[in-house]
Amino acid sequence: MGRYVARRLLQMIPVFIGTTLLIFLMVNALPGDPVKALWGDKPPDPAQVAQIKHDRGLDLPLWEQYLHYMKGLFQGDFGKTIAGNRPILDEITQAFPVSMRLAAMAWTFELVVGITLGVIAGIRRGRIIDTTVTMFTLLVISIPIFVFGRGLQLVFGNELGWVKPTVQDSENLEQLILPALVLGLVGLAYVARLTRTSIKENRSADYIRTAVAKGLPRRRIVSRHLLRNSLIPVVTYLGTDIGALMGGAVITEGIFNVTGVGNLLFQGIARREGAVIVGVVTVLVLVYLLASLLVDLLYAVLDPRIRYA
Amino acid sequence: MPDLTKTPAVDEPEVVLAEAQAGGKVLDGGEANGARSLWSDAWRDLRRRPLFIISSALILVVLLMAAFPGLFTSADPASGDLTKHFLGEPKLAHFFQEDWFGYDRQGRSIYARTVFGVRNSVMVGVGVTLLVTLFGGLVGMLAGYFGGFWDSLLSRITDVFFGIPFLLGAMVVLNAFTNRNVWVITGALAFLGWTQIARVMRGAVITTKHADYVMAAKALGAGTKRILFRHVLPNAVAPVIVVATIALGTYIVAESTLSYLGLGFGDDAISWGADISDATNDIRNNPHTLIFPAGMLSLTVLAFIMLGDAVREALDPKLR
């Protein structure tokens, strides 16, 4: 077990370096100049542009810039923004807690409602409830998230007045409920679909027949035998979704005025602040890599046949 | 949407893998009996499924609309008449006429725009799916078949691309282009989207390559190319087709989400995504500007997902 974890952690190193390098190259190799953008529509002063670039090391070759960046990163220095000269680490530490709260709520919502719907649909296969759940999940997947966001905001926020249409205080969990619901909706649909398919497949497995023959109560068969064996694909999805929920909330955060990571990224992309984008993605990649390791370890808990020597 | 904010459809790779194994078994059985193959078996099953019939009919209509929008409307989607600004309720009885769905902010016919918008969405969806299936399929096949060093190398490269959030990466790429046309958007989505197919293909090839018929082909002295394309590929491609069909729908949603962020098609192009995102500003007073393009988009996406589901169930005996 310990050796397995160590090996996995070692394997993460090339992936981590590769991903940061890829996003670094994408941000820097593409056309557009953030320094010249400081002048807006006016013609920039070449001497000042050169000075700013020199001060920030932006005139160095790309590989040297990357080495500098990574060196700083390991010392906890994410660099500074070009416009405003703010430490990027400050921006990240400000935005992440907000996104983590939002993502945690959305994730819980996916987990609880998604698995419940999936189990119900899976064991009542072919009945009305199964068809309803299936149609619901298909609809959710096929409607763009911003249509949902705007629609629910209009109905619950503006028309019915049950919640505040936008988030004024991101510490207030009550205000985050609607954004979290919108954010988790698509994941919920995928979780429900996965659970349903998996349960349907395992329903006729031999160990279920054995459990029924032993005369176990139905509730126990479903929760202990059927669900546990059906959860592996669901756990895989939920694990990789944590990072996606944190970084992928651009739309939801925009609609509900949440100042989290998605907002930070969107601003970074619009202003071509390469260092901001690379910094945030670096943190997100770490979250994603650790989450997928946890998922793999969870497999062994769910299925005793899986062992990590 | 696939919340296009997240990786579209990391859809059920595990289940699909299980399918690949199951599929292989069916094929073995079929050959042993001298009976039907996996595909003809699935086809017999599919023909009787209402889900399959409805979704393929919808897809045919959408493709026809994309190829010949002039068949469906004679109105010009680009010409606006400001006297018709948000004019009136949609006239639901005026089938196929200019004012069927009402008019938008600029007084343009929403029906005409919905019909002419199909092409861009479908081209992006189909284009990305083709690129992703070819490239991801090739990478997955090579990694799965050769194993060892090549598998480690290709799998790590796949992991690297998979680690970058899909929508985010597409935003970074598209932000660099001022002239965003079908090819640019397709390229950007395919650049980041191929990893899903590569992973599914790799898994399917690994389960197939130890099959008896592959061993037999090897023993008979068949070349690597022949084994790969005549024996391994046809038997490993089923889960890839399922995932690709479902992903096609999610790419269409991805395009609309990028348009909502101002990183999709430009103003001069007619696209559902751009129209829907314009309409979200008017939903309070003029919901009809949103409902029709969004409805058509969802219907199209729904058709592809339903088709993928139907094919999946037909290919997987455990689900029958």
ipTM given for this complex: 0.82
Mean pLDDT of B41-45: 80
State which residue of chain A sits closest to B263, comparing Cα positions.
A270
Average pLDDT, chain B: 79
Mean pLDDT of A24-34: 77
Given a cut of 80, is residue A209 above it in pLDDT? yes
The domain locations on chain A are 1-75, 98-272
Contact list in A for residue B176 (CB cut-off 8 A) is 30-32
The pLDDT tens digits for B54-93 are 999 999 999 998 888 777 777 777 776 766 666 656 666 6
Please indicate whether, in this complex, the C-beta atoms of A251 and B277 are within 8 angstroms of each other: no
Interface of A with B in 193-212 (CB under 8 A): 193-194, 197-198, 200-201, 204
Of B166, B167, B176, the CB nearest to A31: B176
- What is the token pair recorded at B76? 């010009």
Whole-number percent of chain B with pLDDT over 90: 15
Please indicate whether, in this complex, the C-beta atoms of A141 and B1 are within 8 angstroms of each other: yes
Contact list in A for residue B54 (CB cut-off 8 A) is none
Name residue B120's amino acid: N
Mean pLDDT of A151-174: 80
pLDDT at B86: 61
Mean pLDDT of A74-86: 77
> Could you tell me which of B160, B163, B239 has the C-alpha nearest to residue B206?
B239
Contact list in B for residue A201 (CB cut-off 8 A) is 15, 18, 316, 318-319
The pLDDT tens digits for B103-115 are 777 777 778 888 8
Given a cut of 70, is residue B11 above it in pLDDT? no
Sign of CA dihedral A276, A278, A283, A285: positive
Interface of A with B in 37-66 (CB under 8 A): none
pLDDT at A213: 92
Q: According to the per-residue pLDDT averaged within each range, which of A170-179, B45-54, B184-193 is highest?
A: B184-193
d(CA B299, CA B301): 6
Contact list in B for residue A208 (CB cut-off 8 A) is none
Rg of chain A over Cα atoms, rounded to whole angstroms, equals: 24
Of A32, A198, A200, the CB nearest to B176: A32
pLDDT at B12: 42
pLDDT at A5: 86
pLDDT at A113: 95
Contact list in A for residue B280 (CB cut-off 8 A) is 146-147, 150
d(CA B311, CA B43): 9
Q: Which tops the pLDDT comparison, A85 or A188?
A: A188
pLDDT at B7: 40
Burial (CB count within 10 angstroms: exposed 0-12, middle 13-18, buried 19+), residue B7: buried
pLDDT at A296: 84
pLDDT band at A153 (very low <50, low <70, confident <90, very high): confident
pLDDT at B311: 84
Mean pLDDT of B243-257: 89
Given a cut of 80, is residue A53 above it in pLDDT? no
pLDDT band at B280 (very low <50, low <70, confident <90, very high): confident
Where are any strands of DSSP class E within chain B?
Answer: none
Q: In which element (H, E) is residue B89 found?
A: none
The reported pTM is: 0.82
Domains of chain B (ranges; CATH) run: 41-67+111-319 (1.10.3720.10)
The pLDDT tens digits for A83-119 are 777 788 888 888 888 888 899 999 999 999 999 999 9
Contact list in B for residue A248 (CB cut-off 8 A) is 3, 5-7, 165-168
Mean pLDDT of A122-151: 87
What are the backbone angles phi and psi of residue B7, rounded to the nearest 5°? -55, 120
| CATH number for region A98-272 | 1.10.3720.10
Alpha-carbon gap: B65 to the closest alpha carbon of chain A (Å): 19
What are the backbone angles phi and psi of residue A98, rounded to the nearest 5°? -60, -50
Contact list in B for residue A32 (CB cut-off 8 A) is 175-176
Please indicate if any CB of chain B lies within 8 Å of the CB of A292.
no
Please name every residue paired with A130 in a beta bridge, in sequence order, or none if there are none: none
Mean pLDDT of A279-295: 87
State the count of interchain CB pairs (< 8 A) between A and B. 178
Given a cut of 80, is residue B142 above it in pLDDT? yes
Please indicate whether, in this complex, the C-beta atoms of B4 and A233 are within 8 angstroms of each other: no
